Structure 1
Amino acid sequence: MLKKTVLLADDHTMVAEGIKNLIGDEYEVIAIVEDGNTLVQKAKELKPDIIVSDISMPIMNGLNASEKIIATNKDVKIILLTMHPELKYAMKALDIGVHGYLLKHAAPEELLTALKTVLVNRTYITPTLAADIMDAYKNNQGNSGDPLDVLTSRQRQVLQLLVESHSAKEIANILNVSSRTVEFHKYKMVEVLKLKSANELVPFAIKNGLV
């Protein structure tokens, strides 16, 4: 019987290798990537059965990458790992259709359980957060309420790169667009977020948990 294929995404090589060693007996790890942009590309190219991804990654975070992948591939199962225990991240993940959500400090056996769960078309949420998430939805708080949701995926990508201290020219090179296009995205973000100037973009993003 062929092993199910897994694509790993984490910008910490030791973490990714640890996960590979953990699941290697039961699953075939076909690639490890270090940023969300590459994750989207490799998911399209390799068509894995499962993606296990960190949320906090450079260029494009795991949530935004997952949203892009799910939009074009409804069959792939995505499990997100995070250091963030805040409900808003978990609820955002559920809203975009992610299949599993675990905290990074969970026991290794929990990831193995999550992998088995998503493969039978069920959703796995770490027990640490499951009850709070259910309560939030029952109280009509299903919407993540993220003020950054008004941004397009490209705008969020530009904003994340700004948070990572890249200049407009560096962002243009990373995204393969012109510097003028980057400046236009900054202008539009100031407009839709109702900020006073581009100088407020990074503080606003950090305050609202852009990862």
Structure 2
Amino acid sequence: MENVPVRIALVDDQKLFRGGMKMILADRSDFEVVFEAKNGKQFFERLAFEPVDVVILDVEMPEMDGIETLERLRSTHDNIRVIMLTMHDSDRLISHLMELGANGFLLKDEDPDVVCEAVERVAAEGIFFRDYVSKALLKKSRNKMNSDNLIKPRISDREMEVLQLICKEFTSKEIAEKLFISYRTVEGHRRSLQEKTGSRNIVGLVMYAVQNGLV
């Protein structure tokens, strides 16, 4: 039985850029570009009839930009994974997008292999971080007010191992192999970590770890 391809939507106001991105993704038999849209408004109109798994979403667009689209997605379709696209690697922008619930972040001049890796990892594990994303989150954590007086959850040694590997972009399968435990056990630790830290997803876990100096 063949695997079902990852269903993708491309949302960018530049038709030429969408065409180039579609060509990159078309090289993968496990990816399917279901539709394209030039802004958030058009995207939601198409989404009502054509469900997708992953959205590659430009930040700057007319008629509902990427930030507004991401916010609405998180309130209406939280299961859809979102990779944000931009020309600028601003620390402030990156940290803001991650706080809003983006699953990944790509610059528009990334290599094609990086784009495909991002889609693959976001679809499978819900997260894809480049070095500049981690640096942006770390910088923000250093600028935050000291929170040592807050009560922090008790995280076991094994949970800490799992959390640190998640932050290094290991998949659950890879973590299981590295720690010599089952995939189900890894998923159990991940769910426990999310409950303890109040994180909705893996992105939230990574942000918690960075902002609390755990990685």
C-alpha offsets along residues 75-126 of structure 1, whole Å, 9 cap, x if unaligned?
A: 1101011012211211121111110111111222111111121122332223
> What is residue 125 of structure 1 aligned with on the other side?
129
Match of 2:100 among 71, 96, 103: 96
Whether the aligned pair in 1 keeps the contact of 2:95 and 2:133 (CA below 8 Å) is no
Q: Percent identity?
A: 21
SS at the partner of 1:32? strand
RMSD of equivalent CA atoms: 1.6
1:14-57 per-residue CA deviation (whole Å, 9 max, x = no partner) reads 11111111111231101111012112232333220100111111
Q: Deviations over 1:173-211 (max 9, x none)?
A: xxxxxxxxxxxxxxxxxxxxxxxxxxxxxxxxxxxxxxx
Residue aligning to 1:164? none
Which consecutive unaligned segments of at least 5 residues does structure 2 have? 146-215
Q: Is the 8 A contact 1:83 1:104 kept in 2?
A: yes
- C-alpha distance 70-43 of structure 1, shift in aligned 2 (>3 A): farther
Q: Matched residues in 1 for 2:50 and 2:80: separation? A: 11
* Secondary structure, aligned partner of 2:74: helix
Aligned partners of 2:7 and 2:32 also within 8 Å: yes
State the match for 1:198 in structure 2: none
Does 1:38 find its partner at 2:42? yes
Q: How does 1:46-57 map to 2 (within 5 A)?
A: 46-57=50-61
Matching residue within 3, 12, 22 for 2:24: 22
Could you tell me whether the CA contact under 8 Å between 1:43 and 1:69 is conserved in 2? no
Q: How far did 1:8 drift? A: 0.5
C-alpha distance in structure 2 between counterparts of 1:4 and 1:39, whole Å: 17
Deviation at 1:135, TM superposition (A): 2.6
Q: Distance in 2 between matches of 1:71 and 1:3?
A: 25
CA contact (8 A) 2:94 2:136 kept: no
2:143 aligns with one of 121, 139, 143: 139
Compute the TM-score of the two structures, normalised by the length of structure 2. Answer: 0.61
2:83 alignment partner in structure 1: 79
Question: d(CA) in 2 for partners of 1:7 and 1:28?
Answer: 9
Change (3 A) 1:101 1:3: same
Partners of 1:4 and 1:28 within 8 A in 2: yes
User: What's the offset of the Cα at 1:2?
Assistant: 1.9
Instruction: Note the C-alpha offset of 1:74.
Output: 1.4
Equivalent residues, number: 141
Distance 1:43 1:118 in 2: 19
* Superposition map of 1:150-161 within 5 A: none
Q: Provide, for residues 142-169 of structure 1, a one-character-per-residue CA deviation record: whole Å limited to 9, x for no partner.
A: xxxxxxxxxxxxxxxxxxxxxxxxxxxx
